[in-house]
Structure 1
Amino acid sequence: MQPLTDAQIRSAFVNASKREIAQATLPDLDSLKWDKLDALGWRDPKRPVLAYVIVEHEGSPVGAILRTAEPSKARRRMLCSWCQDIVTSDDAVLYVAKRAGAAGRKGNTIGTSICTEFSCSRNVRRTPTTSEVGSDDPTDREAWTARRIATLRERSTHFIAEVLDQSSLD
């Protein structure tokens, strides 16, 4: 992912009002390892039910404000639909985004399970187990990791495309 500025991130949101964009708490952009990010996601520390995600879509950054339920101690184990990592113990939660434009104003939403702390980019880059790859060959491991990165990008981009989809107006 290309490094983004505060202004670029705020202008990338497609499903938010000007007020919501202005109130968004951004992460520390200088501390991010941009070359290791396929999707930039973070939770709002001031409002635990809000989160944000930025994904490259058709060559440009596109962002969505996400909502989740209040944090609960009684959480179900869930698989992240983006990284689908079965080895890490990261929690996943259901995040819901208003659709962009008229569909969102009518209340239409789309949801998916994503790692609670948006650790997907890190998860797909971890060293795979031999049983996952079926081989100890370093070339096979690199190919496995490259496929996982590509799949994460495809799934996160597809989610953003669904947020942008205006065919759900009915």
Structure 2
Amino acid sequence: MRALTEAEVRASFVNADEEELRTLEMPHDFVLVDWDYLDFFAWRDPSASKRGYVLIQHDDGGVVGVVLRASEPGRGRSGMCNICHTMQPGNQVAMLSARRTGDAGRRGDSFGTYICSDLSCHENVRLAHPLAPNEVRSPGQVDFRLDGTRRRMEAFVSRVWAQD
């Protein structure tokens, strides 16, 4: 992703109202973000525990952001994040939904999926999974997981930002 200023981040949200933009709190480490390392930028609002944000960059260089609402994480069995395809304990996966844009959003339509509660998908796919004793990791495995995670997050944002 290209480096963004706080003003650019705030201007990128397609499903936020004026109140959400006014109360949006940037992550505490925003000035330290390594933008070259990111395929997308996601964080939970430090002051509003049920709100999160995700930004993706399109091929044309434009950035689109969506505001997410989180349900309570599960308490029981483990679950899989639909973005990074990582198995997590039940309390670390939550349904995150976003109000759709346009007429659909004005009617109250939203789109949601199960995502890592802390929105750490970008880091989770970079963690090396333990290998079986005779297993060898191919160099392309991590790249394949990164590409899939990026594509799934872009598809999620596209569903929210569906042009009417």
By how many angstroms is 1:99 displaced?
0.4
Structure 1 partner of 2:119: 118
By how many angstroms is 1:33 displaced?
2.5
**Number of residue pairs matched by the alignment:** 160
1:64 corresponds, among 66, 70, 94, to: 66
Identical amino acids, percent of aligned pairs: 33
Residues 129-168 of structure 1: pairs in structure 2 closer than 5 A: 129-131=130-132, 134-136=135-137, 140=138, 142-167=139-164
Structure 2, unaligned runs of 5 or more: none
Aligned partners of 1:157, 1:24: CA distance in 2, in Å? 22
Aligned partners of 2:77, 2:46: CA distance in 1, in Å? 22
Structure 1, unaligned runs of 5 or more: none
TM-score (norm 2): 0.87
Letter in 2 for 1:34: W
Query: Higher helix fraction: Structure 1 or Structure 2?
Result: 1
Letter in 1 for 2:25: T
Structure 2 partner of 1:16: 16
Aligned partners of 2:120, 2:97: CA distance in 1, in Å? 18
By how many angstroms is 1:47 displaced?
1.5
The answer to whether the 8 Å contact 2:74/2:92 transfers is: no
Structure 1 partner of 2:2: 2
Letter in 1 for 2:118: E
Q: Please say if 1:49 is aligned against 2:46.
A: no
Letter in 1 for 2:4: L
TM-score (norm 1): 0.84
Residues 76-87 of structure 1: pairs in structure 2 closer than 5 A: 77-86=78-87
The answer to whether the 8 Å contact 2:74/2:93 transfers is: no
Q: Once superposed, what is the RMSD of the aligned Cα atoms?
A: 2.2
